[in-house]
Chain A
C-alpha cells in the first residue's frame, strides 16, 4: 500500500503498534499518554468531519496516530469545507441574482401570471396580474382564493382552466373568458406535482385581449355601418331621376344607375367597364375635357349630344371629381339629364316669339305699303292704256307696273306671315298626311321634271292628324321647293312618312349639298336666306315652322351622314299635342 501522501512511501497498516517501544521513561510515558489522547481526540473529530463530508470513519489500520497528526486531517477538511462554503456562497449569490431576474421578468411581462395551488388559493401573482384583476385596496393576495380575487365568484367557474389542469394534469387553453368587464385568454400549465404525480400547483397565464376584442367589435360595428350606408347610397342613386355614371381614374365606368341606363337606352353590360369618352363619341372637343379622369375641376350644365341606337339625345351633364382621403382624384361622378325635348320646346317657343314680333312688324309695314303700292300699280296700268305714249315710255311704265306687282307679292307674303303669327290655328280639321304629300308632289311634278329631280316615296299607313290640309300642303310644297332649289339640277328627293306611337313624321331627304353647320340653327329664322338679294324673302321656312308649331309639332333640320339635308316634320296625334 502507498503512503497517504501518495508519494509511494509505504506505511504499514499495523504501524502504530509496530512503532511503539517498550520501557520508555515515565515523562515520555506521560507525554505519550497525552499524545495518544490528543490523537484519539483528533481521530474522533476527523471521523465526525468525514461523516459531514459523507464518508465513513477512519479505520484504525489506515493511519497510526503519528501519521494522522502529521496528515492534519482537520486542517484538510477545514480547507475543503472552506471551499464548500465558498462554492455555496457563490451558488447562493447566483441563485439570489437569478431569483431577482426571474422576479423582474415575472413582473415585467405583459401577461398576468399566477401560481395557484390545488385548493385554488393564490400562491403568488405578478404585477401585471395584480394590475389586471386585483382590487387596488388588496395589499396581499397570497393565500386568498383565486376565484374570489380574480372572478368575484364563490367557487371555481365552469370556464376555469385550472380546474381541468388539476383534474387532467395537462395544459389547458381558454380563448375567451370575461372577468371584471375585461376579456382574457387563459392558459394553465401544471407547475408542481406530489409524489403520486398529481398536480399540486398550476401556473395560470392571463393575456388581456380586451383591446383586441373591442377593436374587433368596433370593426364589426363600422363594417355594419359602412354596409348600411352603402346600401342606403345605392338606393338613393338608383332612385335618382337623373342619370349617374361613376368612372375610375382610367375613365372606365365602374358604376351606373337605372336612370342612366333608361335615358341612354343601354344595358348595364354595354356601359360597365367602357371608357366614358367612347360612350359619348359625338361630344364636341371643348366638352371632352370633362372626361379627363384626373382633372380636378367640376363642370356644370355642359350640353353634349348622345347618338343612341334609336334616337339622338341632347344631354346636360354635371361632372365632379371623386377624391380619396388624401385628396387625390380617383375618378369622376357624372350626372345628366335628357334635355332633348326641353330644348326643342325652347326653340319652338323662341321661334314663335320671334315670329310673332316679326309678324306684327310685317303687318304694320305691309298695311302701310299696300295702299300706295296699289295706287302706283293702278296709275301705271291706267297710263299704259293711253295711246299717245312713246314706245320707250310704255316700256318704262310696264317696268313700274311689274315691279309694283312684285312688291305686292312680297306684301302678300308678309301679310300671310303676319296672319300666321297672330292668328290662332284651326284645329278642328282632320288631315291625312299621305294625301297631303301626294298632292304636293302632284303640284310640283312639272318643276321636278324640269330640274331632272327624281322623287321617291315611302309612305306608311298613318293616323289622321288634327290640322288644316291646305296649310300642311303649303308646308310640304314649300319644303320640297326648298330641296329642289338646294339640288339645282339633277338629283333625288325622298319623301317618307312614318307613324310613331304618339306622333306622325314626314321626312324629306335630298341629295343637295346639305346645310352649312353654322346655318343649321338659323334656317327657320324669318328673313334668313342664303339666296342672292332679291331672289328670296327668307320667310318660306319660317312660315312652315310657324304653321307646324301652331299644330304642336316641330321641324328638325340636319345633315345626313351620307350627304344632303334631311327635314323631319313631326306632328302629334290628336290628344298628344305639346303644350309649347
Chain B
C-alpha cells in the first residue's frame, strides 16, 4: 500500500470565512496530489462553523471528507478514498 502524504494545515484561532479561503487555497495548490489520492489535507481548526463549510465545499469539489472531534479542536481530513 502506498503511503498517503499528510499536508497539515493549522488554522486554530481563525474563523469563517477566512478559514475557508485558506483551506480552498491549499486545496487548489495541492489539487493534483489530492485528486490522485497521493496526499491528504489535514486541517486543525477550533471554529465550529468550519466543520460545516469546509466539508460542504470539499464534497462539492468531489473530495471525501472526514471530521473528527479531538480534544479542544477539530481535525478535518480531505482526500480521496
Which residue numbers of A lie inside 8 Å of B, CB to CB?
Answer: 1-2, 4-6, 8, 46, 50, 53-59, 62-63, 71, 73, 76-77, 79-80, 83-84, 86-87, 90-91
Contacts and interface: CB of A to CB of B under 8 A. Distances in A.
Interface in B1-19: 9-18
A73 B21 CA distance: 7
Nearest to A54: B56
Interface residues of B, number: 26
A86 B62 CA distance: 9
Given A80-B61, A83-B28, A83-B31, A4 B22 contact: yes
A4 B14 contact: yes
Contact of B28 (A2, A50, A54, A76): A76
6 tightest A-B CB contacts, nearest first = A87-B62, A79-B28, A83-B61, A55-B53, A55-B17, A80-B24
A56 B11 contact: no
Contacts of A73: 21
B52 to A, nearest CB: 9
A46 B31 CA distance: 21
A53 B60 CA distance: 9
A6 B24 contact: no
Interface of B: 9-18, 20-22, 24-28, 31, 49, 53, 56-57, 60-62
A79 B24 contact: yes
Nearest to B10: A6
A4 B21 contact: yes
Contacts of A53: 17, 20, 24, 53, 57
Contacts, number: 81
Contacts of A4: 14, 18, 21-22
6 contacts: A2-B14, A6-B22, A50-B21, A62-B17, A80-B61, A87-B60
Contacts of B28: 76, 79-80, 83
B47 to A, nearest CB: 11
B10 A2 contact: yes
Contacts of A86: 61-62
A83 B27 contact: yes
Contacts of A56: 16-17, 49
A80 B17 contact: no
Contacts of A58: 17-18
A12 to B, nearest CB: 12
Contact of B60 (A6, A57, A84, A90): A84
Nearest to A90: B62
Given A55-B17, A80-B28, A86-B62, 10 more contacts: A1-B14, A2-B10, A2-B12, A50-B17, A54-B56, A54-B57, A76-B24, A77-B21, A80-B57, A83-B61
B11 A87 contact: no
Nearest to B12: A2
A6 B26 CA distance: 10
Nearest to A5: B22
Nearest to B28: A79
Nearest to B31: A83
Contacts of B16: 55-56
